[in-house]
Amino acid sequence: MLTFLQTAQEASRIGGRVLQQWQSKFTAREKSPANLVTEADLASQDAIHNFIVTRFPDHKFLGEEGLDQQSGNSEYRWVIDPLDGTGNYVHRFPYYCVSIGLEYRGQLVVGVIYDPTRDELFSAMKGSGAFLNGQRIRCSEVDKITEAMCMASLPVKTTAESAAVGRFLKVISEAQSVQRSGSAALNLCYVASGRVDAFWSTNLKPWDMAGGVLIVEEAGGRVTQTGGGAFELEVPDLLASNGTALHQSLSQLLVE
Ligand code: IPD
Ligand code: CA
Ligand code: CA
């Protein structure tokens, strides 16, 4: 399993380097970077995929940018978001990352997320704890919603009347604060490292979650659906917390 972890770590740094190189290209061309982002996304995904597939040619792959390699008998599947936090990246708001998760027989066994701006590498291997740049990380102990800093993701083009906005407002009036920072994968790492106490979203894709869920769990946190049901990678509904009574309080508020 260590080989898989090391592979994911190296691959995430490779992807991060590609993203940073593309950012300087945007600057050099002095035009709106929006149309170049897809190229950066793809270049990062290609670099990550090439690196991993060379080592494990029979493994399966799912990546946001049209990568869907499902053939073969392997019970391993890599789930990749080559750039999570695209909106931030476009605006040069330094909160985006590369996210890589590895499943074995449908269970997450390795998670790696790399923030190239801060050179922060978050990682976890099933049963072995969670780490940030090699140092053990743990979730916070805040258990009261009134003392909690939470994070949420909302759909990109949401409306004032949407259920997601309704839930966001409900928690705002109870929690100490609610942030919306634009990278679900990094938000999970921030829960794992105790920088925030909880994160939820009901509009996520497998590649947004695959890297970070195991990192939260291995840091002592808890991940379920917002209503408390078991987390499933294919279901776009996630509540990740430090695992204290805060989880239940938030879950109740979110489904009320
Ligand atoms: C998005 C981010 C965002 C979340 C969106 C995702 P992308 O991923 O994780 O936080 O709210 O649902 O699509 O598009 O930047 O890879
Ligand atoms: Ca994403
Ligand atoms: Ca993405």
Q: What is the pLDDT of residue 34?
A: 57
Give the pLDDT of residue 35. 58
Query: Which atom of ligand 1 is closest in space to residue 87's alpha carbon?
Result: 15
> Residue 169: what pLDDT?
94
User: Which residue has better confidence, 28 or 164?
Assistant: 164
Alpha carbon nearest to ligand 1 atom 7, residue: 84
Class of 145-255 in CATH: alpha beta
Query: Going by CATH, does the domain composed of 2-136 fall within 3.40.50.2000?
Result: no
**Torsion of the alpha carbons at 215, 216, 218 and 221, rounded to the nearest 10:** 180
Exposed (0-12), middle (13-18) or buried (19+): which is 213, by Cβ within 10 Å? Answer: buried
Of 25-39, 137-151, 161-175, 220-234, least confident by mean pLDDT is 25-39
For 193-206, write each residue's pLDDT tens digit.
999 999 999 999 99
Q: What is the DSSP letter of 1?
A: -
213: phi > 0 → left, psi -120 to 50 → alpha, else beta; which?
A: alpha
CA of 80 to the centre of ligand 2 (A): 9
Q: How far is the CA of 57 from the centre of ligand 2 (A)?
A: 25
What pLDDT shows up at residue 30?
Answer: 46
Q: Is the dihedral of CA 22, 24, 29, 34 positive or negative?
A: positive
| Distances in whole angstroms, Cα of residue 205 to Cα of each of 85, 192, 233, 254 | 13, 20, 8, 19
Stated as kind and residue range, the H or E segment containing 10 is helix 2-29
pLDDT at 139 over 90: yes
Tens of pLDDT, residues 13-51: 999 999 999 987 765 554 455 556 778 999 999 999 999
Ligand 1 mutation pick, 45, 91, 153, max ligand atoms within 8 A of CB:
153
Distances (CA, A) of 123 to 62, 101, 230, 231: 19, 10, 22, 19
C-alpha 190 – ligand 3 centre gap (Å): 18
Mean pLDDT of 50-64: 96
**CB 63 less than 6 A from any atom of ligand 1:** no
Q: Where in the chain is the domain with CATH 3.40.190.80?
A: 145-255
Cβ-proximal residues to 252 (8 Å cutoff; 6+ apart), any chain: none
Under a CB-based contact definition with an 8 Å cutoff, are residues 108 and 8 in contact? no
Give the ligand whose atoms come closest to the C-alpha of residue 85: 1
Tell me whether strands 135-137 and 198-201 are parallel, antiparallel or unpaired.
Answer: unpaired
The rounded distance, in Å, linking the Cα atoms of 112 and 133 is 11
- pLDDT tens sequence across 86-138: 989 988 899 999 999 999 999 999 999 999 999 999 999 999 999 999 999 99
CA distance 137 to 154: 27
Lowest mean pLDDT among 153-167, 179-193, 232-246: 153-167
Residues of the chain with CATH 3.30.540.10: 2-136
Contact 135, 145 (CB under 8 A): no
Q: What per-residue confidence (pLDDT) applies to 123?
A: 98
With a 6 A CB cut-off, is 208 part of the ligand 1 pocket? Answer: yes
